[in-house]
Amino acid sequence: MRPPSSTEPETTAGTGRTSHEALDDERLAAAYLLLIDQPGLDLEEFAARLGCCEATVRRVFDRLTDLALLYQTAEESELVPVSPLAAMHQLISREQTLLKQRQTFLQRSADTFSSILSKYGGNPDATGAVTLAEHLPDLPAVRRRLQELAMSARESVLAFSPTAASPAASRIASRPLDLGALRRGVRMRTICLDGIVVEPDAMAYAHELTASGAELRLVSRLPMRMIIIDGTVAVVPQNPRHAADGAYVFRHESVVLALLALFESYWEQGRPLLADEAPRGCNNHFERAVLRMLATGAKDDAVARQLGTSVRTIRRIVADLMTRADVSSRFALGVYAAKHNWTESRPAPVVTAEPG
């Protein structure tokens, strides 16, 4: 069939209609079969046989061309229908090419944004000097910056997590960022408090991270919350006891190196989170820490604050220990714990470092 001329009138043969009819699958199929059965029809005859206006025929031809079911010869003198199987392969090939181009574009965009984010906040001030630290004035600003830094991480994320019972909202916000970084091949090492073993939600999240490739160790105390990205950017709180006071972002090499050394010293002292880690007997590091602090006369709120958990958790642990010891008072628990060496530190499991 000859291709339609753009100057031909857009009317239905014999009716003068110029309506814009819908291009449903049945009409496209009828047009395709008509092209095969009667290839010599001109535009007017084709419109009459198809029962539509010439404008609709042009739209049908455009759509069949988009679907690779119709092509125009080199001389632009004929519209030739293509085998459906060949059209399918041609369409898939075309879409795969477009997809690769899109993926390349997205990767270049991600690289560009990562480069911008890595420098964000480290711009020179009015005198031309680079500031020692960027100040984040409040918690929302801290969360925004941590999100940006987590998304730009390429090699490593190191973290101190000094709160055993972190809020559920915090875990929900962190989860896609943490798992996304792990999927990109970022090495993630986190140091948590022993207290997470008595917090079911925190333990479930910790095991999810380790199952996805993260490394996690436990210690009895941490000095503050801290995150180091790619060994070049560190975020520390302005006030370790009040997260809402904001934070500082350090990029100065000497400061970051000092914080890296601090992290590594705690990492070497920590013990790995075991796959079946759970409170049992008094083999639990966190429970022994609770008993040792209570033995000094510390109140529940002081113990909770020192160990990064809640007063409710401390009281639950004490109640559990009393049940295991089969005693009815804290004094009796102290006597039993001392008699059975519950407060003595146990050596952490020996971990053999993997090569490389």
Q: What is the CATH number of the domain that holds 141?
A: 3.30.870.10
Q: Into how many domains does the chain fold?
A: 2
pLDDT of 118 higher than 70: no
Element (H, E) at 147: helix 139-152
User: Do 292 and 268 share a structural domain?
Assistant: no
Non-local (6+) Cβ contacts of 245 within 8 A are 138, 237, 238, 239
Residue 60 falls within a domain, yes or no?
no
Question: What confidence category does residue 276 fall into, taking pLDDT thresholds of 50, 70 and 90?
Answer: low
Residue 328 falls within a domain, yes or no?
yes
User: Do 206 and 253 share a structural domain?
Assistant: yes
Looking at the chain, the whole-number percentage of residues with pLDDT higher than 90 is 16
Domain final position from 272, 298, 313: 272
User: Do 258 and 303 share a structural domain?
Assistant: no
Residue 344 falls within a domain, yes or no?
no
pLDDT of 227 higher than 50: yes
263 or 273: which carries more pLDDT confidence? 263
3-state DSSP helix/strand/coil % of the chain, to nearest 5: 50, 15, 35
What CATH number did the domain enclosing 309 receive? 1.10.10.10
Residue 43 falls within a domain, yes or no?
no
Residue 238 falls within a domain, yes or no?
yes
Q: Quick one: which of 206, 237, 211 has its CA closest to 224?
A: 237
Residue 30 falls within a domain, yes or no?
no
User: Do 226 and 321 share a structural domain?
Assistant: no
User: Do 261 and 139 share a structural domain?
Assistant: yes
Residue 3 falls within a domain, yes or no?
no
User: Do 267 and 289 share a structural domain?
Assistant: no
pLDDT of 243 higher than 60: yes
**What domain range is 298 assigned to?**
285-339
Alpha-carbon gap, residue 126 to 115, rounded angstroms: 22
| pLDDT score recorded for residue 230 | 94
User: Do 173 and 243 share a structural domain?
Assistant: yes
Residue 208 falls within a domain, yes or no?
yes
pLDDT single digits (tens) 278-332: 544 455 677 878 888 888 888 888 888 877 778 888 888 888 888 888 888 888 8
